[in-house]
Each structure stands twice: as C-alpha cells, then as structure tokens.
Structure 1
C-alpha cells in the first residue's frame, strides 16, 4: 500500500519538493518522518543519501509495509508504531531534520506533538511539514459560487471523508499552527500556500 502523497509531493495540489527545495542537500543527515505511512517518503530520503532513516506511524499495517519497502535500502532504518503525541523511544537532540508530509493534522494534541518534535531535533535542526489548508473543509463550491459552510475560526475535531472512509480530523487555523510552533521553541522561517494544479488536478479538486 503506497502513501497517497509521499515526497517529493507535499500533498494534493501542492508544489513539489523539486520546485520548493525546502530540504536542501540531505546527504549524511539523520532524518525522522512523523506519520511515515508505508515508507515512500523515507525511500525518497534514502535515494538522496540520508545517513539514517527513522519513522513513526500509528498504524501497524503501515509500519510493516514500510519495513518491507525499506529492508534493502542500504541506510540504517528504525521504525516505530506509536501515536505522534507519545515518544516510543526516539532519541532527543539527535535529528538534523524532522518532517511530516500530510500527516501532522491527524494529531490529537498539537502542542504535545510539537514539543516532542522540538526535543528530537538537534540545536539548529529543521522541521518541515505539510497539511491541508484550513479553508479546504470550510468552503464548498455550489454552482460556481464559493460558500463558507462553517466559520474559519471554529477549531477542533470534525467528521471528514478520507480516501472514501469516514474519519475524524482536526481543524486548526494557520495562526494556531504558527503560535503552537513558536510556543514550543521553533522559529518559523517560511509558510507556503502555493497551489500546483495539473489539468487532472483541476477536475478532481474543483472545490479547492
């Protein structure tokens, strides 16, 4: 089972790492994937010569799929089945880069998750994450008119269809993400809201 949007993708209708170059040269760096899924983003990191590949995911099925995918990759691999709000044994002050590709929004405790991530990073380390824009679940397209179906300022869990399956998602404003990052010791360097759409994307994601 492949991740819906592994690196170099950042998510649906999002620019690619090839265009953004947020990671830069990762050769010989230790990386940790929060919400690693089936391991395809870690595979991308291995292809770019990362020194060590670490991943964490809530799903046993996904972790097992990642182990299978990465078993002959060449770099040391450490995978943990755990919620991101808990530390299953990951080292502190260890990683050059921690990243989360279209997974951070699943957290049930944003502050706890960001506090953990800050502790995993070396001083001067980098955290990169992508997630659905908060407006996506608040705006609907009705006969060519964009209409708000709920206030942007309303935060918390909500019911959402994900890959054809009902799920509970978390709604946060962009300011909530930024303030939570700052409050947990991060310095925000860049926020990107750009869209990349192929013709197929335009039809599939018309509402967005």
Structure 2
C-alpha cells in the first residue's frame, strides 16, 4: 500500500469504530497494563499551559488536562467521528477545544512555537511518516516545550506464545520470536471485522527521529504496572506476557 492508501484505510476503520474505543487508552493511562500518569507525573503542573494532542480520539485525555487547568486545548485526529465524539464529550463537561480533522502527516493549520506540551497517547505509531511528524511537532512547541507519547512496545509485536507439541512437556507455554525485531515493514491486522495497517518500529528509530527533530529525550519508560507484575490470580496470556516483556513504551522529550 502507498502512504495515502494506508491513511485512508485506517481513517475508515476509525470512522466506523470510534464508538467502540470511546474513553479507552486515555490519560491518566499510557497503555494497557502499563504505569500511568498517576505514577509517572510526566506533565507536572499544566495550569495555564497550552496543550496539543495528536490523535486526540474521544477527547478524554484533553478533558483530563482541562480538569488540571490547562489554558488551551487543541486536538488533531484523522477521524471525523472521533472528533465528533470528542467535541460532544468536552462540551458535556464544560470545555471547548480547537479540533482539527486531518492526518498528522499533513500540513496543519497550527501555530508554530506556541505550545507548552504536545502529546499523543497510543497515537504516534499510526503515522506513515515518523520523521516528518516529529519535525512538525517540534515546530509547534515553544523552546523547552515538552513532547510526550506512548505506543506499543516493539517487542510486543515481535514475540508470541508457542504451545509445545511434545506430549512429555507439561511446563507453561513459552514466548518465542514470531517476527524479526528489525522488520519495520507494514503489516495488516484484523480488528472489528476490518484490517488496520501498521508498522513496528525499533526503539532506536524513535530515539533517532526525536534527535533529528531537535529533541532531547528526558525519559523512556518501559514499565508495566505493579498490579500486573504482582498478580497471582490472573493467568491470562496478556498478563503472563506482560510479566516477561514491556507491553507499552512511553517517551518524554524536550525541544532544544
């Protein structure tokens, strides 16, 4: 698929399934079975700050920051249905935001050197142009502005459970590599009866793209939540996997 085909495919998915994801993976949550903003405090004090969310979804993260007295709320999402949900949700809670319906890769009508925070909760990984997206985000931020984003950890898509076929083996299933860590090609994944298109980028790809865009990485977090790590009753495959590898990753970077 070409870039525009991937964007159109994923946009159609989100327009059709926005309601299914209403309120999920939003601040204070950074990812499934992952430490939260309540643990990390990456945003510090947002009172009076201008914030921009990339892939703002249903608006729950914007509302979280508005509750903490952020001065201006901006959001970008490629799905008009997501933005419709966000506008309604924010209005119901007494807030307004400047919402822009556009792919993050496009030229956006957003002021430069303006924001204190740009962030994305499980959204950046959808970009078809990581470097271009990071460059744009850097241009939106003031000097010393903060960029925070989370996404699936690279290893999460590289390893899977393998069931032993040997009759004499009764030990638990083992995680095995199902694809190469170095493979950054696009792949399709069935979700809700449709296929989404993603690529699984190396951690170094994110780090190097941030550096090239003029960011200094202040924190990289790959820590699953304490409840998951200490669980003794939950034997689901996802929990067992989370005890062995990071499921999500989160970055905090400062514009130089």
TM-score band (shorter)? over 0.9
Q: Which residue of 2 aligns with 1:19?
A: 39
SS in 2 for 1:71: helix
* Distance (whole Å) between structure 2 residues aligned to residue 155 and residue 141 of structure 1: 21
Q: CA deviation at 1:4?
A: 2.1
Alpha-carbon distance in 2 for matches of 1:99, 1:204: 30
Deviation at 1:57, TM superposition (A): 0.2
* Contact preservation (8 Å) 2:54, 2:124: yes
Partners of 1:161 and 1:138 in 2: CA distance = 17
Per-residue deviation, 1:84: 0.5
- Give 1:71 shift: 1.8
* 2:132 aligned counterpart, secondary structure: helix
Query: What is the number of equivalent residue pairs in this alignment?
Result: 208
> Which has the larger Rg?
2
* Residue 195 (str. 1) matches residue 224 (str. 2): yes
TM-score, structure 1 as length reference: 0.94
CA contact (8 A) 2:155 2:181 kept: yes
Query: Deviation string for 1:15-67 (max 9, x for gaps)?
Result: 01000000011111000000000101101011111001000001000011101
Gaps of 5+ in 2: 1-18, 164-172, 243-256
More RCO (CA 8 Å, sep 6+): 2
Which structure dedicates a bigger proportion of its chain to helix?
Answer: 2
Equivalent residue of 2:220, what SS? coil
Shift of 1:70: 1.1
Which stretch shows the higher mean deviation, 82-91 or 158-167? 158-167
What's the Cα RMSD here?
1.8
1:164 CA drift (Å): 6.2
What's the CA shift string for 1:80-113, capped at 9, x where partnerless?
0000011331110000000000010000000110
Gaps of 5+ in 1: none
Give the one of 78, 83, 100 matched to 1:80: 100
For 1:147-196, what per-residue CA distance to the aligned partner results, in whole angstroms no more than 9, with x for missing partners?
10111011121122446642111210000000000001111111100011
Alignment of structure 1 residues 18-167 onto 2, 5 Å:
18-143=38-163, 144-162=173-191, 165-167=194-196
TM-score (norm 2): 0.77
